[in-house]
Amino acid sequence: MTSLATLLQYIPYMLEGLIWTFTLVSGGLLLGFTIGLPLALAEVYGGEYTRTLVKCYIWFFRGVPLLVLLFLFYWGVFPSLGLKLAPLSTSIIVLGLRSGAYQSEIFRSAIQAIGEGQILAAEALGMNRLQAILYIVIPQILRIAIPAWSNEYAIILKDSAICFTLGVAEILTRARYVVITTGVALIPYLIAGVSLMILTYFGVKVLDRIYSRVKIPGLGVSLP
């Protein structure tokens, strides 16, 4: 039986994994945002052809399990394109592509919540579509979408643990290593779980705080 002291030794090593977790999450969210926002705009304002393409993208990345996506891209797609990507880069890209699908759904419903009237008003003033989107739509959806977006943060944070399958040195990978080395499972996995929970909690709190600061006064978009 391994002593508690031995386990304690591993704690800094495990917590270092949170840096990798954080990299996965922020990289995935950022890439997802860059993909999701244009996709949502294309889906709402684009022609029929564009709309179908966007729908296909969304269904693919929402429909295929994350684990399958990771294997598919790491061993399938990237190698066949002649790309040699590290597990970390692959994981960020896959998390990002997938989050892009989910984020586009978030932004799409935010666009629909604004309604058509304000776009008509912008166009009646002489703005073109692009100006209306830039000055009227985007500033509003970025605010409206925050509550749903914070949910996406919580989801992608937890999903990032699956990247252990590619050997990314995030917290679960490290916990598993400690379990194998020491033969004790309870404490390392508990530490991994609780630290992800704490990250979820603080991230969501921070986004709540941001939301209450930037939300449009008087407009009741209530938190779920």
Partner 1 sequence: MKNSDIVLRAVDLYKSYGTVKAIDGVSLEVTRGETKVIVGPNGAGKSTLLKCLNLLIKPDKGRIWLEDVEITNSKTDICKIRQKIGFVFQEFNLFNHLIVLDNVMIGLTKVKKLSKEEAFKRAQEVLELVGVERSLWKRYPAQISGGQKQRVAIARALAMDPIIMLYDEPTSALDPQFVGEILEIIKMLSRNGLTSLIVTHEMGFAREVADEILFMYRGRILEKGPPTQILARPKYEATKRFFKEINRLYGAGG
CB 24 within 8 Å of CB 91: yes
Span between the terminal Cα atoms of the chain, in Å: 46
Nearer to partner 1, 127 or 210 (CB): 127
- Say whether residue 1 binds partner 1 (CB under 8 A): no
Q: Among 120, 180, 206, 223, which residue interacts with partner 1 (rule: CB under 8 A)? A: 120
- Say whether residue 204 binds partner 1 (CB under 8 A): no
Angle subtended by helix axes 146-159 and 186-214, to nearest 10: 160
Number of H helices, E strands in the chain: 11, 0
In this chain, which stretch among 22-30, 82-90, 101-109, 116-124 interacts with partner 1, using CB under 8 A? 116-124
Q: Among 23, 50, 109, 140, which residue interacts with partner 1 (rule: CB under 8 A)? A: 140
In this chain, which stretch among 3-11, 113-121, 151-159, 197-205 interacts with partner 1, using CB under 8 A? 113-121
Q: Distance between CA 111 and CA 63 in Å, rounded?
A: 23
Tokens of 19: 């840096």
Q: Distance between CA 187 and CA 14 in Å, rounded?
A: 11
CB 213 to partner 1: min, Å = 14
Q: Distance between CA 88 and CA 17 in Å, rounded?
A: 12
Largest Cα span, the chain: 76
- Say whether residue 64 binds partner 1 (CB under 8 A): no
CB 221 to partner 1: min, Å = 10
Nearer to partner 1, 179 or 210 (CB): 210
- Say whether residue 212 binds partner 1 (CB under 8 A): no
Q: Among 2, 6, 118, 181, which residue interacts with partner 1 (rule: CB under 8 A)? A: 118
Q: Among 65, 76, 79, 139, which residue interacts with partner 1 (rule: CB under 8 A)? A: 139
Using alpha carbons, list the distances in angstroms from residue 198 to 75, 110, 193, 204, 206: 33, 28, 9, 10, 12
Q: Among 131, 209, 212, 223, which residue interacts with partner 1 (rule: CB under 8 A)? A: 131
In this chain, which stretch among 16-24, 32-40, 139-147, 202-210 interacts with partner 1, using CB under 8 A? 139-147
| Cα Rg, the chain, nearest whole Å | 21
Binding site residues, partner 1, CB under 8 A: 114, 117-118, 120-128, 131, 135-136, 139-140, 143, 216-219
